[in-house]
């Protein structure tokens, strides 16, 4: 009979996933010792962790290292404790536990209860902070991570005159969009943007100016969840769950940190400029721009 973790891997049971690659999965413990308590598993079902072949054991710990960095960046703590118990579920797993005191690692402590909405928030926050590997950020048939990153940084610098070192929202968006591309009939990098709010309000003319399109260009509004629906599906448009999780983290950040987030499409095909904007603190507009190809 498959273990409960194997059923999560197979998609038979839900989980608050925070990171995934071809051979490993990380998700929040539903009976945590502390908020952010994360489990890291190999997708292959092996009862005892030290029965894994040396190369697979090393790969599991390397994956856990990346996840631990994400947990520590997302959850306030002094250290990430690491534990392997191996008695509760017959499927090898590593516990990553945010800790401020040694006692936080005591498995005899009562488990805490975290609401579903908060679990989703924590999972998304960790996902956004897990360092990406070069391979994970390379979409099939698209730009590689280095190329997409260089294009994003170049265009963002040119398109966002208000970008400064103290623009925390833009810095976060740069991290969340790094290496991500929007896939339609072609692919285009997501370019983080930050603008001062237009003096006359966000009219169609002001939007056209921000997008760099001719005045009078038709502006169509769309809901963010609908616009990203294919990219936030379980395996995304590229069959890469890790990239799908990154799009989910970006979507959650935009909705939680910005007010009135809206997708704006300009004109009709074959190349449709797109701006995704919401209001940040101080009245700034922030989000990302990309291009949708429709022929």
Domain architecture of the chain: domains with CATH: 4-129 (3.30.428.10), 145-293 (3.40.1460.10)
Residues noted as catalytic: 93
Give per-residue pLDDT as tens, 40-92: 999 999 999 999 999 999 999 999 999 999 999 999 999 999 999 988 899 99
pLDDT of residue 98: 96
Q: How many CB atoms lie within 10 A of CB 242?
A: 23
Q: Is 161 exposed, middle or buried, given 0-12, 13-18 or 19+ CB atoms closer than 10 A?
A: exposed
Nearest Cα neighbor of 292 from 250, 215, 254, 237 is 237
Distance separating alpha carbons of residues 187 and 160, to the nearest angstrom: 21
Give per-residue pLDDT as tens, 261-276: 999 999 987 889 999 9
Task: Name the one residue in this structure whose structure tokens are 């998304």.
Answer: 124
Distance separating alpha carbons of residues 67 and 51, to the nearest angstrom: 22
Q: Which residue has the higher pLDDT, 159 or 188?
A: 188
Asked if residues 249 and 228 have their Cβ atoms less than 8 Å apart, the reply is no
Distance separating alpha carbons of residues 120 and 132, to the nearest angstrom: 20
pTM score? 0.51
């Amino acid at each position: 009979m498959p273990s409960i973790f194997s059923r999560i891997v197979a998609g038979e049971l839900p989980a608050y996933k925070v990171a995934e690659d071809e051979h490993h999965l990380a998700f929040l413990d539903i009976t945590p010792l502390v908020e952010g308590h994360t489990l890291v598993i190999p997708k292959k079902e092996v009862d005892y962790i030290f029965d894994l072949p040396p190369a697979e054991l090393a790969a599991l710990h390397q994956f856990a290292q990346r996840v631990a960095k994400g947990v520590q960046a997302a959850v306030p703590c002094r250290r990430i404790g690491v534990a392997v118990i191996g008695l509760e579920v017959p499927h090898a797993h590593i516990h990553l536990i945010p800790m401020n005191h040694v006692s936080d690692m005591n498995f005899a402590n009562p488990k805490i209860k975290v609401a579903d909405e908060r679990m989703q928030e924590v999972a998304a926050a960790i996902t956004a902070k897990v360092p990406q590997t070069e391979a994970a950020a390379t979409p099939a048939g698209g730009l590689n991570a280095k190329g997409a990153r260089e294009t994003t940084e170049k265009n963002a610098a040119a398109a966002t005159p208000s970008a400064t070192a103290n623009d925390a929202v833009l810095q976060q968006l740069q991290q969340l969009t790094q290496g991500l591309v929007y896939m339609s009939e072609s692919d285009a990098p997501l370019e983080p943007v930050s603008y001062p709010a237009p003096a006359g309000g966000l009219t169609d003319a002001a939007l056209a100016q921000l997008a760099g399109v001719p005045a009078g260009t038709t502006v169509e509004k769309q809901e963010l969840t609908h616009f990203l629906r294919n990219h936030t599906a379980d395996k995304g448009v590229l069959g890469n769950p890790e990239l799908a999780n990154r799009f989910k983290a970006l979507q959650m950040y935009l909705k939680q940190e910005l007010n009135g987030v809206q997708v704006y499409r300009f004109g009709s095909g074959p190349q449709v400029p797109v701006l995704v904007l919401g209001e940040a603190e101080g009245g700034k507009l922030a989000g990302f721009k990309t291009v949708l190809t429709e022929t």
